[in-house]
A and B are shown apart, each in its own frame.
Chain A
Amino acid sequence: MSFTRRDFVRGGVAAFSVGFAAPKFLCDLALAQGAASRSLVVLYLSGGNDSLSMVVPYTDPFYMTRRPTIGLTAGQVLPIGKDSAGNSIGLHPRLTGLKGIFDQGRLALIQRTGYENSSRSHFQGTDIWSTANPVNSQGPGWLGRYLDTLPAPVDPLAAWNTTGQTPHTLLANTVGVPAIPSPAQYSFSSPNAGTPEALNERTYAAKISSHVPVNRPHLAFVNSTAQAAFNTLDSVASVASYVPSTGVTYANNGFALALKAVAGALVRGTGTKVFWVQTGGFDTHAGQGTQNGGYAGLMSTLNDGLTAFYTDLNNHGLLSQTLILQFSEFGRRISENGSAGTDHGAASVMMALGGPVRGGLYGTAPNLNPNGNNPTLENGNNDVRYETDFRAVYATVIDNWLGGDSTKILAGNFKNGPNII
């Protein structure tokens, strides 16, 4: 795409905006390719999700005795049936939309996911889940390693991070992942806005960052990011104008707006394979509440955002090519603390939803009995012990959805995972 100055001046402002949006035929082309492609949306609940309040074993006799203030009663939860061990399970009362998706068979809940010697540190825990390596959690993330296996040249929008900073999970050796917290603000402005000079600035700013400086890797790194920004500006501009399908409203919060951007990218056919979305506030040391209160607010945000997204994709016929995978860095202590909250614990719940998902309850709930030898718990029966290694879930997603090789990407055989796809 190039302009002569004459074209620009003749076309005026219109040429500027048309030129900067992706031409329709490119969108159609991408959409045609995208129809055969599959997207993974990774959803991170940051802070350590108290899964015992989200996916509740509400008939366990010790559930209420260990959570007298924050426990949800049988009358409050949304029952979804029994797991394979016969535990009755209910969803948090705010998860009404997710209950509907569960009933349609498009939501899988994998109870007690985690790993041996679970870290109770937010940062180490996040690193471990990001790298899929409990022993050495440095280096590229598991999806970064997947991106590294894609044939070059990798499309600059092969992955799309909806937050401001690149998450460890998407750190790759050879692929830079753009961070696009707001498609509307993902544009290039100028002190000479509205004049041809603005385009000169963009042209030369892009040129300056196109050189690979010798022996200055830190400068080269910033240059590569700037290049990725310039290479993605036009496609992202086409997503900024996305209007959700009729009847779908995304709430005005960061999480819902991020999902709206993902829906826009899918509808506009950017060809993106991996999206990253996150929502925070799950470090609920205090004031969790029950059907109202701090945790209920988190559940509303989660439910409303995912329900709008699911409906939007369904309306566009894109559900079958979209998989959402949720995780958190750890679960929380079983017994509530003195501030009606919960401290850092171990195993938690993972969630998968979307068109390809075989819905249902996977794995078994913990037995919350604090006394004696209880194999479903650890740390003096204070925390939930894992049953399913989280890497087995990753392996299923890599092998059955992304078409990658999990043995290679996860550096080990974790192919015994739940059959969620």
Chain B
Amino acid sequence: MAFRDPLIEHLLRRAGFGATAAELERYQGLGFSGTIDELINFTGVADDVDSKIGTPGYVATTSTGPFSPSTVINDARQRWLFRMTHSRRPLQEKMALFWHNHFATAYSKVSGNTTAIDGVRMMAAKPSEHPGGIAGQLETFRELALGNFRDLLVAVAKDPAMVVWLDGNTNVKQKPQENFAREIMELFTMGVGFYTEPDVYAGARVFTGWNLERVGRTDDPNGYFRFNYVANNHETTAKEFSFPIYPDGSKTIPARAASAGMQDGLDLIDALVRHPETGKRIVRKLYAFFVSEIAVPNEQIVAWLSQIFQQSNYNIGAVVRALLFTREFSEPSNRFSRYSWPAEFVVRAMKEVGFAGFSVNNAISPLVNMGQQLFEPPDVSGWDLGKSWFSTGATLARMNFSAVLTQNQKFNISSSAKGKGPTPEALLSFYLDQLTPADFSRAAYDDLLAYLTAGVTWNGSDAQLATKAPGLVHVIVGSSEYQLV
């Protein structure tokens, strides 16, 4: 490729997981705004990525039995990594990852309270793979990735994995269960400081009866759990809040017959979505995710984006689109101003270093060491982002994933390096283009050059390249400069 457009590279790192040379070339053909349009309007692009699993030309998967991502958690993790690597709808996968962190649900508890197969189905099955035709949580995140936030919140409140995760299954009128009511206010919408403890207790009563039911016997492999509003478990008295529930300012959800009591929860969700702090909080999280987590967004841009959130009837796609077209997004000083999440780092490395003959299974335990096991966030507040990703152990784990990948790709790397290294400078320049790290300082650049000549007199021979090219790629992908996106 003759010319690499740094703005499109930036866009694809943020709104996707980086790009192979071929992908970059295609998106460059669409231009910056054409690429954004395609990324946002992803329903216009075929969703055929899963059909490529196990075919040549793509990263491989590895399973002990038949590959079964709807019943085996390790396979579900591999399928998601495969999609991140190869989906032609990268923003959809990126937003699914965003929502997985926002509505953080862990497979271990979901499966522990049910069974391993039920747990995987609830986390990751496609409707077509589920005996009851129900979408697993990840499929809901994909479906509503850039959709209406209110629809997403309702879907999450009824999502079987979430109901198990936050104990909604046991929320009954005799003993209201506070877990979901607390987190929907604290983490999913407004945030700490905008609700009171009595709001949590009232919220718990609101969601009484939002339970699960088992279809089929426990030992029936085709049995499954689905959401079920149980009127008998619903507490029917009025619930009073400290913030407005209805557009007229009323703060009380009226007493209702148990049969109509599910409306309580929908009323509360509407109120939470409408609450001005919810839009601001979601907008700030999106800004940090797409634009910068170094520079704090100014109040004008938060207000402007919150307004788009409100006026678009809570359409996330409208907010993300506006964000990507802001001057701040394109601002060169905002490039590489976010600490990459481990999943982003791993997928980008595969796309930029190469994946022929590599299996995503080899990324699963490195991701654990980097602090991000998919479907296993540490708690309901999601992963600690930013600097928190970079403990020493996790930083070493990134360097060592770079070693695992470059060792696997050693042959491919040394083949593609042939003819690229008449001088150490030429070889370094070739890889800095291909790997797109943040700029190295002059001193660090000189160290990279010194590495190439360490222990050898440079002649650019195939034998030298066979050792030095993989070594250089290892060092660059393991460098601090590569950890930023």
Residues of A within 8 A of B (CB): 5, 46-47, 120-124, 161, 164-166, 176-182, 185-193, 195-197, 200-201, 203-205, 207-209, 211, 213-214, 217-219, 221-223, 225-226, 228-229, 232-233, 283, 285-287, 336-339, 341, 343-344, 379
20 intermolecular pairs with C-beta atoms under 8 Å apart: A5-B455, A120-B197, A165-B389, A181-B393, A188-B400, A188-B403, A189-B404, A191-B407, A204-B450, A204-B454, A205-B479, A207-B450, A208-B440, A211-B444, A219-B336, A225-B395, A232-B392, A286-B113, A337-B170, A337-B175
Chain B CB within 10 Å — which of A120, A165, A221 has the most? A165
B479 and A209 contact, CB distance less than 8 A: yes
Question: Which 5 A-B residue pairings sit nearest by Cβ, starting from the closest?
Answer: A338-B175, A179-B391, A339-B170, A222-B480, A204-B451
12 further A-B contacts with Cβ under 8 Å, apart from A182-B369, A187-B400, A190-B471, are: A47-B379, A122-B379, A185-B393, A186-B393, A192-B467, A203-B454, A204-B451, A218-B337, A222-B390, A229-B395, A337-B175, A338-B172
**Which A residues touch B381, using CB under 8 A?**
122-123
In B447-485, the 8 Å CB interface with A consists of 447-448, 450-451, 454-455, 467-468, 470-471, 473-475, 478-481, 483-484
Q: Would you call the interface of chain B mostly helix, strand, loop, or mixed?
A: helix
How would residues 164 to 189 of chain B score, 1 for a CB under 8 Å from any chain A CB and 0 otherwise? 00010111101111110010001000
B178 and A344 contact, CB distance less than 8 A: yes
B474 and A229 contact, CB distance less than 8 A: no
Residues of B within 8 A of A (CB): 113, 167, 169-172, 174-179, 182, 186, 192, 197, 200, 294, 336-337, 339, 369-371, 378-381, 384, 387-397, 399-400, 403-404, 406-407, 410, 438, 440-441, 443-444, 447-448, 450-451, 454-455, 467-468, 470-471, 473-475, 478-481, 483-484
**Which B residues touch A207, using CB under 8 A?**
447, 450
B480 and A285 contact, CB distance less than 8 A: no
B393 and A180 contact, CB distance less than 8 A: yes
Option from A161, A201, A337 in Cβ contact (under 8 Å) with B451: A201
Give A341 to B391 CA distance when docked, in angstroms: 34
Give A122 to B377 CA distance when docked, in angstroms: 15
**Which B residues touch A218, using CB under 8 A?**
294, 337, 339, 387, 484
**Which A residues touch B479, using CB under 8 A?**
205, 208-209
Option from B175, B404, B410 in Cβ contact (under 8 Å) with A339: B175
**Which B residues touch A165, using CB under 8 A?**
371, 378, 384, 388-389, 391, 394
B211 nearest CB across to chain A (Å): 11
Chain B residue at minimal CB-CB distance from A382: B201
Give A208 to B428 CA distance when docked, in angstroms: 14
Give A131 to B470 CA distance when docked, in angstroms: 44
B443 and A211 contact, CB distance less than 8 A: yes
Give A226 to B389 CA distance when docked, in angstroms: 12
Option from B370, B391, B473, B474 in Cβ contact (under 8 Å) with A161: B391
Chain A residue at minimal CB-CB distance from B333: A215
Give A193 to B20 CA distance when docked, in angstroms: 27
Option from A161, A193, A286 in Cβ contact (under 8 Å) with B407: A193
**Which A residues touch B396, using CB under 8 A?**
185-188, 229, 233
A200 and B403 in contact, given A180-B393, A222-B339, A337-B175 (Cβ under 8 angstroms): no
A191 and B474 in contact, given A179-B393, A208-B444 (Cβ under 8 angstroms): yes
Give A339 to B172 CA distance when docked, in angstroms: 9
B451 and A120 contact, CB distance less than 8 A: no
Option from B172, B378, B441, B475 in Cβ contact (under 8 Å) with A211: B441
**Which A residues touch B336, using CB under 8 A?**
219
B381 nearest CB across to chain A (Å): 5
Give A90 to B435 CA distance when docked, in angstroms: 61
A121 and B186 contact, CB distance less than 8 A: yes
B442 nearest CB across to chain A (Å): 9
Give A337 to B168 CA distance when docked, in angstroms: 12
A176 nearest CB across to chain B (Å): 7
**Which A residues touch B171, using CB under 8 A?**
338
Question: Number of residue pairs across A and B with beta carbons under 8 Å?
Answer: 196
Give A223 to B337 CA distance when docked, in angstroms: 15
**Which A residues touch B441, using CB under 8 A?**
211, 213-214
Give A49 to B152 CA distance when docked, in angstroms: 32
Give A188 to B455 CA distance when docked, in angstroms: 20
A344 and B467 in contact, given A207-B447, A337-B177 (Cβ under 8 angstroms): no
**Which A residues touch B170, using CB under 8 A?**
285-286, 337-339, 341
B447 and A208 contact, CB distance less than 8 A: yes
Chain B CB within 10 Å — which of A180, A181, A337 has the most? A337
A219 and B200 contact, CB distance less than 8 A: no
Give A177 to B463 CA distance when docked, in angstroms: 41
A228 and B448 contact, CB distance less than 8 A: no
**Which B residues touch A122, using CB under 8 A?**
379-381
B387 and A191 contact, CB distance less than 8 A: no
Chain B residue at minimal CB-CB distance from A294: B112
B475 and A179 contact, CB distance less than 8 A: no
B402 nearest CB across to chain A (Å): 9
B337 and A343 contact, CB distance less than 8 A: no
Chain B residue at minimal CB-CB distance from A119: B192
A263 nearest CB across to chain B (Å): 18
Give A219 to B339 CA distance when docked, in angstroms: 9
B475 and A208 contact, CB distance less than 8 A: yes
Chain A CB within 10 Å — which of B170, B378, B450 has the most? B170
A208 and B392 contact, CB distance less than 8 A: no
Give A228 to B182 CA distance when docked, in angstroms: 39
A164 and B387 contact, CB distance less than 8 A: no
Option from A179, A286, A341 in Cβ contact (under 8 Å) with B392: A179
Give A286 to B113 CA distance when docked, in angstroms: 10
**Which B residues touch A161, using CB under 8 A?**
391
**Which A residues touch B450, using CB under 8 A?**
204, 207
Chain B residue at minimal CB-CB distance from A209: B480
Chain B CB within 10 Å — which of A179, A191, A197, A286 has the most? A191
A201 and B471 contact, CB distance less than 8 A: yes
A204 and B475 in contact, given A195-B467, A219-B484, A222-B484 (Cβ under 8 angstroms): yes
B144 nearest CB across to chain A (Å): 25
A412 nearest CB across to chain B (Å): 24
A225 and B391 contact, CB distance less than 8 A: yes
A200 and B471 contact, CB distance less than 8 A: yes
A192 and B192 contact, CB distance less than 8 A: no
**Which A residues touch B406, using CB under 8 A?**
191
**Which B residues touch A195, using CB under 8 A?**
467
A246 nearest CB across to chain B (Å): 30
Give A177 to B369 CA distance when docked, in angstroms: 16
Give A122 to B178 CA distance when docked, in angstroms: 13
Give A155 to B401 CA distance when docked, in angstroms: 27
**Which B residues touch A217, using CB under 8 A?**
294
Give A203 to B450 CA distance when docked, in angstroms: 11
**Which A residues touch B392, using CB under 8 A?**
176, 178-180, 186, 225-226, 228-229, 232
